[in-house]
Amino acid sequence: MTYASTLLGLLPGGRRAPGIGQLVSKLESYLPPDQVDRVRDAHEYAEAAHRGQKRRSGEPYITHPIAVADILADLHMDGATIAAAILHDVVEDTGASTEDVTERFGREVAELVDGVTKLDQVQFKSRQEAQAESFRKMLLAMVRDIRVIMVKLADRVHNMRTLGAMPPPKRRLVARETLDIYAPIANRLGMHSIKLELEELGFKALYPKRYRVIEREVKRARGNQKEFLPKIVKNLGQALERAGIKGEVEAREKHLFSIYAKMRRKRVPLEEVIDVFGVRVVVPTVDDCYRVLGLAHGLYRPMPGRFKDYIAIPRVNGYQSLHTTLFGPNGMPLEVQIRTSEMHETAEDGIAAHWRYKAGETGPGERQDRAREWLKNVAQLNEASAEEMVESVRLDLFPDKVYLFTPKGDIMRLPRGATCVDFAYAVHTDVGNRCVAAKVDRRLAPLRTVLRNGQTVEIITARGAKPNPAWASFVVSAKARASIRQYLRNLRRDEAQDLGAKMLNQALDEFGLSLRKLPDDRLDQVAAYLGLRDGKDLLEKIGLGERLAPLVARRLLPRESDMPPGGPQVPLAITGTEGLVVSYARCCHPLPPEPIVAYLSSGRGVVIHRDNCPNVAGFGKQPDKWLPAVWEKQPQRAFHAEIRVHVANRVGVLAQVAAQIAANESNIEHVNVADEGDDTSVLTFEITVRDRPHLGHLIRTIRGMPDVLEVERSVNREP
C-alpha cells in the first residue's frame, strides 16, 4: 500500500525548466532510437533558430519549448508530438517557414507546428466571448489533429508556471484566459492532471488573496486531520488484503480552485465544503471496484445521497469511477474514489492516454485509431453528450463546420463545404460582390475551391468587378446565396427595364412617337391603370415578356382615334450583350448574321430563334408573342452552337478533335460520346463561336481530319 498526500503549496509554479539531457533520458525510456534522434534534430534546429532570444525571465528562449516537450514526455506522447513541441514557436518567432519545417522534419510534424501557430493567433475580444462554450468548441473544432491542442495545453502549462516574470496586468489577462478557455478544454478532453494544474496556477494568479485565504484554511484543516488520514488509509489497505484484492490506497486532497468553485457554485462558506479530504483506491478490475465499495461501507458509515456510480454512467469526458462519502473518525466527512488502473490513467490524462506511444506500433495510425475510439465512446455516453462532442471535437470522425482565418488572424466560421466565395461574402457583402481571386494559405486558388479547417484565406477584389451568376451553383452559405440572388435580381431588373424601354420605343415608332416625346407622367399613369407601381415597373414587365410592347404603346397614345392602321413593325436590334433578359434558344442555337425572330416568353424575357427553326412554326398560333429581330453589325459576345462529328473508332480520336476545336479559338462547353456501330462513334460537342463564319471554318477544318467521316451542325427539336 502507498500513502501520498498532495501538498498544494508545492505545485510546480517555480519549477526549473528541464534541459535537453533530462528530456532525452525520459524519451529513451519509451521511444525507439530513430524517434529520439528526430527529437534531438528538432532541438538543434530550434536552438539555432531561437539563438539570441530571451524569455522575459532572462532565460534563453529554448528552455520554453524543451519544457513543453518535457510535459508531453510525461504523458508518453509520440516522437512527432515531442518534436512539434520543441519546434512550436519557430515559425511564429523566427525566420523559419512551414515549408522549411516540412522539408526537414516531414509533413506530420509541420502540420502540428502550423496548427499550434494558428492557435496562437486566436485572441478573444471580451470576457463574455472567452467564457462562451462556443469559443472553446471552436478551438477544438478548428484543428485537424487533436495533438495540436495537447501541445498548446502543455505550452500553456509552462507559461503559467513561469507567469511570475510578467507584469500584473498581463498575469491577470493570461490567468483569465487560462481559466475560461484552456482549463475547460483540458477537462473536455479528460486531461485531469493538466486541467488541475492550469486551474490552480490560474486561480493563484487571478485571485492571489482568495488563494492565500483558502490555502491557509486548508492547511489548518489538514493539521487537524493529519492523524486520521493515515489511519483511514491503513484500515482500507488491511481490508483489501483480507479480501485478497490487490490495489493501491492513497490519501488525496481537493484542489484549492475546486474548493473555490464549489463555494461559488453552491454559495456556501468553506466550512460547508465537506469533501476537502479523501482517499483514492486503484484496483485491477471493475468487479474489484464494487467489492471495495462494499468493504468501505463496512468500515465507515456512508453519507446518504452521496454515492455516484460513474462507472456505469460515465461523465461527458469519459471519466469513470465510483464516488462515495463516508463518516470518518469523529464524524469527519471523507470522499472515497474507487477505480481501475485503466480508468485512473484515462482520468488523469484523458485523450492523451490514447495517443500515448506504445512499443510495437507501426505508426501514428494505431494511436489515432485508439484516440478516435475513445472519442466515439465519449460521444455515445448519452444523446446530449453525443451532440456536444460532435460540436466540440473535430477529427475526420466529426466534420461539420470549418473555421478559417483572415490574413489578420480573425476567425470566420462557415458551413462544411464552404468555398472562397462563401468566405468573401462572410467578410462583407461588398467584398463578395467584387472578389476576382483568392489565396489559400498564401497560394492562388480558384474561387470555387472548397476550404478546410484552419486555412488562411485572402480575398482579392477589383473595382468594377461583379458577381458571376455561376457562383450560385456552388456556394453553400445562406449569406452568399442570398447576396448573389439579390444582385442578380437587381441586375435582371435593370436589364429588363432597359430592354423594355427599347421594345416600347420600337412599338411607339409606328405611331411617330417615342418615350421622350410623351408627357413625363404618361408612363406612370398607364402603369397605375394596369395595376403596377410605376413606369419602371411597367418597363420591367415588358422586358421580361409579361406585357406586350405594342399593346402598351396603344395605351400610351393620347387618344384611341389617333391610332393609325398597323404598319410593319420595327425589328428588335440584338447586340448579344443584353445579359439575363435576352437568351438564345437551345433548339436552334442562332448565330449572327443568320435571320432571327424574337419570342416574348413570360418571365424569361426575349428568346431568340433562327427564323427557320421548327419551333417558329407556332408563330401563327401566338402572333402577338413574336417580334421581328435583327443582329446589330458587330455582336459582342460568344454564342453557343452544337455540332455532331461522326468518327472512326480510333484511340485518341476524341482528344484530336477537341484539340482542333481549341486550336480554332473555340471553347468546348459539353461533349457526349455515343456508339454508332462497331467501327464508328458520334461525338456531340456544345461549343462557343463568334458567328456563323467562325462555325463554318471550324466545321471545314474538322472535316479534313483523317478519322472524321462527317461533320454537321445539329438542330434540336426541343426549345
Which of the residues are catalytic? 92-93
Residue partners of 356: CB distance under 8 A and separation at least 6:
75, 76, 77, 78, 349, 367
Residue written as cell 490524462?
Answer: 349
Strand partners, 708: 647
Residue partners of 539: CB distance under 8 A and separation at least 6:
496, 497, 500, 501, 504, 523
- Please give the full DSSP string across 666-712, using - where no structure is assigned: -EEEEEEEEE-SSSEEEEEEEEEESSHHHHHHHHHHHHTSTTEEEEE
Give the whole-angstrom CA distance, residue 280 versus residue 238.
15
- Report residue 472 CA to chain centroid gap: 20
Residue written as cell 461574402?
Answer: 425
Instruction: Classify residue 520 as exposed, middle or buried by CB count within 10 Å of its CB (0-12, 13-18, 19+).
Output: exposed
Give the whole-angstrom CA distance, residue 694 versus residue 583.
20
Residue partners of 25: CB distance under 8 A and separation at least 6:
none
Of 282, 278, 303, 275, nearest to 240 (Cα)?
Answer: 282
Give the whole-angstrom CA distance, residue 159 versus residue 213.
25
The answer to whether 317 touches 189, Cβ cutoff 8 Å, is yes
- Report residue 121 CA to chain centroid gap: 16
SS3 373: helix
401: how many CB neighbours lie within 10 A of its CB?
17
Residue written as cell 408573342?
Answer: 625
Give the whole-angstrom CA distance, residue 487 versus residue 469.
9
Give the whole-angstrom CA distance, residue 273 versus residue 269.
7
Give the whole-angstrom CA distance, residue 451 versus residue 530.
50
Of 505, 555, 494, nearest to 528 (Cα)?
Answer: 555
The answer to whether 389 touches 398, Cβ cutoff 8 Å, is yes
Give the whole-angstrom CA distance, residue 21 versus residue 88.
19
Q: 607: alpha, beta or left, given left = phi > 0 and alpha = psi -120 to 50?
A: beta
110: how many CB neighbours lie within 10 A of its CB?
22
Residue partners of 314: CB distance under 8 A and separation at least 6:
320, 378, 381
Residue partners of 2: CB distance under 8 A and separation at least 6:
248, 249, 250
Residue 333 one-letter amino acid: P
Residue partners of 178: CB distance under 8 A and separation at least 6:
156, 160, 198, 201, 202
Q: 309: alpha, beta or left, given left = phi > 0 and alpha = psi -120 to 50?
A: beta
